[in-house]
Structure 1
């Protein structure tokens, strides 16, 4: 994924154990890379699913005193009324669309591709029928739990509320836990079941 003349390495990929008939594209959080998430998905691997964990370009991030770090877009602040980097979000969205288009060219239909992300990596312009699993630790010091629950409520106004699952994890800080990864695996299995010719 490239944007704004920023070169980034190829995504970390966990290939399907057999013919890939579905894909999960998962975006890491601020300052991270796709490698740790690829490792996490390898631990919950489903045989017909390919996992793609791209790496964000390195850029100065206003929130962190303009230090250079992997980021999908600039972050000006964490308060609900903070300005947003609209150009950066659009660039990240375009790069994500290019990844989806590549998988469609590889033979995976778009309805067999799940998008996911941690922390900074969120969905926009949802389709009304999509299914959402949103997970949040109730002890997250970086992205307060109330922001997660408010996001879930906002999503219910954009798509069918019956398609939204909001799960909280007691004592979980700004990270993932084994229970959450099992919930993610179950969600993927339900949304991307094997197809008849597998």
Structure 2
């Protein structure tokens, strides 16, 4: 059973889709307002899919239940992550991709996008997905389970284009974490379009503009 979602279509009979995952404690409504600012009239008809993460206790927030793609056990990046939760969310995203396939949109016309925790999941899922995807949008995030990636990466997405936007003053997901993740992806041959902005843990207008230009290339097929 697929996650509950909010959907917006930019025209009849969409031929492409963007599945966009929110950050910790938010929900699918968080990025839905970005659609009018982001879309270009030159693009094909799109379906935006904004899923809601399950509600689960989050350790760093005192075990308070909230929408989260996985538990965050510590702010220490050297501590083992919630691998079971990450893999559960990868599976949930795979199911959303399959649903779009069943609705007539091939994987090669699907972009995965995510902010913060959501960005971690789209990176983990997209690089492992067995069918070629159109691209990955990683905003203010990092690559989880780096050690397993070489063995689990999909040949179909070995060179998937990635747009990465990160704030230089991000107090939540440090810029260094993003830089380390970018370096690992590039070492594997993944092309990363890297952009930094003088902001904290959010998205800004210049970032939306840069993302629109990048998406225009991904949606040209």
Compute the TM-score of the two structures, normalised by the length of structure 2.
0.79
Partner of 1:101: 98
1:46-101: CA deviation from partner (whole Å, max 9, x where unpaired)? 45121111111111001111011110111111222022111111110110000000
Compute the TM-score of the two structures, normalised by the length of structure 1.
0.88
Preserved contact between residue 135 and residue 180 of structure 1 (Cα < 8 Å): yes
**Unpaired stretches in structure 1, ≥5 consecutive residues:** 3-7
Distance in 2, Cα, partners of 1:79 & 1:182: 33
Distance in 2, Cα, partners of 1:31 & 1:147: 21
Preserved contact between residue 137 and residue 169 of structure 1 (Cα < 8 Å): yes
Equivalent runs, 1:1-198 vs 2, <5 Å:
10-46=4-40, 47-121=44-118, 122=120, 123-124=123-124, 126=127, 127-160=157-190, 163-170=191-198, 172-193=199-220
Distance in 2, Cα, partners of 1:92 & 1:173: 26
Preserved contact between residue 14 and residue 42 of structure 1 (Cα < 8 Å): no
Partner of 1:5: none
Q: Give the paired residue count.
A: 185
Specify which structure has the bigger relative contact order, considering alpha-carbon pairs within 8 angstroms and separated by 6 or more residues: 1
Distance in 1, Cα, partners of 2:206 & 2:8: 21
**Unpaired stretches in structure 2, ≥5 consecutive residues:** 128-156
Cα offset for 1:42?
A: 3.1
1:146-195: CA deviation from partner (whole Å, max 9, x where unpaired)? 111111111112233xx21110002x1100011111111212111111x5
What secondary structure does 2:208 align onto? helix
Structure 1 vs Structure 2 CA RMSD: 1.5
